[in-house]
Homo-oligomer: A and B are copies of this chain.
Amino acid sequence: MSADSSGESIAADRASSPADTLTAAERGARALGGDPVRVAIVGATGYVGAELVRLLALHPYVRIAGLVGRERRGDPIAHIHPHLATKDLKVYDNVPDDAEAVFLALPHGVAAARAGEYLGNGQTVIDMGPDFRFRDAADYETWYHAEHPRPDLLPGAVYGLPELHRSALAELGTRPGAIIGSPGCYATTAILSLAPLAREGLIADVVVDAKSGVSGAGRDPKADLHFGEVNESVKAYGMFTHRHTGEIEQELLSQSPAADANPGAVGIDFLPHLVPMTRGILAACHVRPTRPVTQAELDAIYADAYGDEAFVTVVEHAPATKHVLGSNEFRVWCHVDDRTGRVLAIGVLDNMVKGAAGQAIQAFNVLHGLPETTALLQLPLAP
């Protein structure tokens, strides 16, 4: 099989192309003219890193300028991710200087500690972890039990959920030093499921009961990710303490019409489960609404919220995670139970795509002024 050679010439590129000082928007404009944005992926040996490669390798306005992983001086990516064997990409131990955007798939705390260096090189940072998701460092510290390494950078970051922050992302692209805090997989599912209700002030007392495939837990072998443990079993985990709870509360509160008067949007009861599948998240959001609602109202609220969204579909039948497998789609179903008056919103996505790599590329596209759906139009893989 013939192969591209983009990974081979890193050293040469470095010498000839020191990182410029353009904004993301300027680089995007240049890319549309034929000179792609050079991106690096740090943490390419993990699942999220591999997924970024899978999608970016076919992005017409991007060139993968470098893959970075621990102690992998020149190993072909296929040694770590056999499914990427047809791409002639190698893994190095640092980011090439000419990279213009850096995707970080790193442990929390590490990303923030390094981000300053990348920003100093004129590189845009898209962080897949939690370090730039919170607007208030105190929230980070509450949920991660650690001091934030660079609270000074938080004001320059935007939560990378285009459906909620599209204009902020686009505006961010016109400034140097852009940082995207790409949302958590569970958080994306819960927030997109509930944001329309939050905007209407309907949310109070919410239970978010979520189910995830295993890939969200990462690629490191652990006893509880062993096939023999996961297969034919369901379990809850992270009871009361899952860190995405903080993100969900922050974003839903930010959507509420009278945030400070709406304590119901705080105190989400979030419970994740591990189910025996590889990809996919389903969140069942059980809401006791602040006032009675009709199905017609709900239909209008969701149609209004998502009618123009390329990656969100409001569905008539309860969605299954397989309906969106491998794609950047989010689907949501929201109904009222006439017997009890409760409202149920069910959202699904592929945690590796709309819950991670795809979402980050979507935000990257917005940031750079590129068509938002670029490289993200693959249809779901079923059965």
Taking Cβ atoms with an 8 Å cutoff, the residues of A that contact B are 1-2, 47, 50, 53-54, 57-58, 81-87, 205, 207, 209, 211, 213-215, 219, 221-223, 225-237, 239-240, 267, 269, 271, 273, 275-280, 282, 284, 286, 288, 306-313, 315, 317-326, 329, 331, 335, 337-340, 342, 344, 346, 348, 377-383
Contact at A271–B344, with CB atoms within 8 Å?
A: yes
Complex interface: chain B residues within 8 A of A84 (CB): 379-380
Residue of chain B at shortest CB distance from A281? B234
How many angstroms between the C-alpha atoms of A175 and B220 in the bound complex?
A: 50
Contact at B276–A276, with CB atoms within 8 Å?
A: yes
Residue of chain B at shortest CB distance from A317? B82
Contact of A320 among B235, B321, B329, B382 (CB under 8 A): B235
Given contacts A50-B382, A273-B284, contact A267 B339 (CB under 8 A): yes
Given contacts A232-B278, A308-B2, contact A288 B209 (CB under 8 A): no
Residue of chain B at shortest CB distance from A338? B240
- A-B contacts, 14 of them at CB < 8 A, read A82-B323, A85-B331, A207-B207, A211-B211, A225-B227, A231-B383, A232-B325, A233-B277, A233-B322, A233-B325, A234-B282, A240-B338, A240-B340, A325-B381
Complex interface: chain B residues within 8 A of A340 (CB): 240, 267, 269
Given contacts A2-B308, A209-B209, A344-B239, contact A83 B382 (CB under 8 A): yes
Contact at A58–B284, with CB atoms within 8 Å?
A: no
Complex interface: chain B residues within 8 A of A378 (CB): 58, 378
Residue of chain B at shortest CB distance from A318? B236
Contact of A273 among B211, B225, B308 (CB under 8 A): B211
Query: How many whole Å from A282's CB to the nearest CB in chain B?
Result: 5
Contact at B326–A381, with CB atoms within 8 Å?
A: yes
Given contacts A82-B320, A276-B277, contact A87 B282 (CB under 8 A): no
Complex interface: chain B residues within 8 A of A344 (CB): 239-240, 269, 271
Contact at A379–B1, with CB atoms within 8 Å?
A: no
How many angstroms between the C-alpha atoms of A311 and B86 in the bound complex?
A: 9
Complex interface: chain B residues within 8 A of A269 (CB): 286, 337, 340, 342, 344
How many angstroms between the C-alpha atoms of A381 and B198 in the bound complex?
A: 35
How many angstroms between the C-alpha atoms of A339 and B381 in the bound complex?
A: 40
Given contacts A232-B277, A311-B1, contact A240 B383 (CB under 8 A): no
Complex interface: chain B residues within 8 A of A313 (CB): 1, 85-86
Query: How many whole Å from A118's CB to the nearest CB in chain B?
Result: 26
Given contacts A227-B225, A234-B211, A284-B273, contact A82 B240 (CB under 8 A): no
Given contacts A269-B342, A279-B232, contact A209 B284 (CB under 8 A): yes
